[in-house]
Amino acid sequence: MGALPKIDLPLYELELPSSQEKVKYRPFTVKEEKILLVAQEANDTEQEILAAKQIINNCLIDTDVGKLPMFDLEYIMMTLRARSVDNMIQFAIKDPDTQEQVELTLDIEKVKVVRDKNHTNKIRVNDDYYLFLKYPTIDEFVKISKLSTDDPLANYFVMVSCLDTLASEDEVYEFSEYSEEEIDNFMESMGADVVKGIQSFFETMPKLRHEIPYTNSAGKEQTFVLEGMRSFFI
């Protein structure tokens, strides 16, 4: 008896929202379906993010998953789910007014990356320097998800995670080349306007978002909002 044949999977192409770069991918297999199901049962944010990273890493061809911003990964996950399984997801929510279960249907092909027209990664520090920010990667989001909302340093960690370069007309400083202590000393000298700019960068960052309108049993029109990685673990 010979070995079972290896089944070749088709390859597809998608465009990354962050850079418009085209990357190749293969659809889910049973292996990825199992990873998805286990993460759904866990109902834990960190486990969901790690499962998504493993699935995308398995399916993307010649692409470094660790360097992609989170909203790219969310978009890839959506595309993989639609191409591999089904673009329609049936799920139930509890209506906030009636507390009754409501059955909803999500067409994940309609879920898009939403962009804010005021979003920018360039922040003016003074007359000479500008701060350039980067999008957090999936590994940084895992670290962020572990932080307690009561931790006074949580917001600071989030801000530092997005620092990319400091630049003037003549010089460019890469934050990756400096120690935590050096970065802390630099950040302590920043004014309130710079901190506000970093916060705005996060608040307006591109994200996967979709609204599902429905009418509850009392006849009131409601809207259920799906954002980010939660779209795939409902």
DSSP letters along 24-81, please?
Answer: EE----HHHHHHHHHHHHHT-HHHHHHHHHHHHHHHEES--GGGSBHHHHHHHHHHHH
Q: What is the pLDDT of residue 100?
A: 95
- Pair 20, 110 in one domain: yes
- The encoded tokens of residue 213 equal 């309108």
C-alpha 43/C-alpha 191 separation (Å) is 40
- The encoded tokens of residue 202 equal 């996060």
For residues 198-202, give the mean pLDDT: 90
Classify burial at 102, counting beta carbons within 10 Å of its beta carbon; exposed 0-12, middle 13-18, buried 19 or more.
middle
- Pair 37, 152 in one domain: no
- Pair 60, 72 in one domain: yes
Q: What is the pLDDT of residue 208?
A: 87
Give pLDDT tens digits for 98-121.
Answer: 999 999 998 888 888 888 999 999
- Pair 195, 180 in one domain: yes
Say how many domains are in the chain: 2
Residue predicted with more confidence, 145 or 103:
103
Residue-range definition of the domain harbouring residue 87: 12-114+207-232
Is 4 inside a domain boundary?
Answer: no
CA distances from 126 to 70, 156, 165, 168, 172 (A): 30, 21, 15, 10, 15
At residue 176 the predicted structure's pLDDT band, cuts being 50, 70 and 90, is very high
Is 85 inside a domain boundary?
Answer: yes
Whether pLDDT at 66 is above 70: yes
Is 171 inside a domain boundary?
Answer: yes
Is residue 208 a contact partner of residue 82, using CB atoms and an 8 Å limit? no
- Pair 193, 211 in one domain: no
- Pair 90, 159 in one domain: no
- Pair 17, 95 in one domain: yes
Is 6 inside a domain boundary?
Answer: no
Instruction: Kindly report the pTM of this predicted structure.
Output: 0.79
- Pair 148, 199 in one domain: yes
- Pair 224, 198 in one domain: no
Give pLDDT tens digits for 34-54.
Answer: 888 888 787 777 788 888 889
Whether pLDDT at 146 is above 80: no
Q: What percent of the chain has pLDDT over 70?
A: 93
At residue 232 the predicted structure's pLDDT band, cuts being 50, 70 and 90, is low
65-74 burial string, b = 16+ CB within 10 Å, else e? beebbbbbbb
Is 1 inside a domain boundary?
Answer: no
- Pair 86, 192 in one domain: no
- Pair 91, 145 in one domain: no
- Pair 141, 189 in one domain: yes
Residue predicted with more confidence, 211 or 36:
211
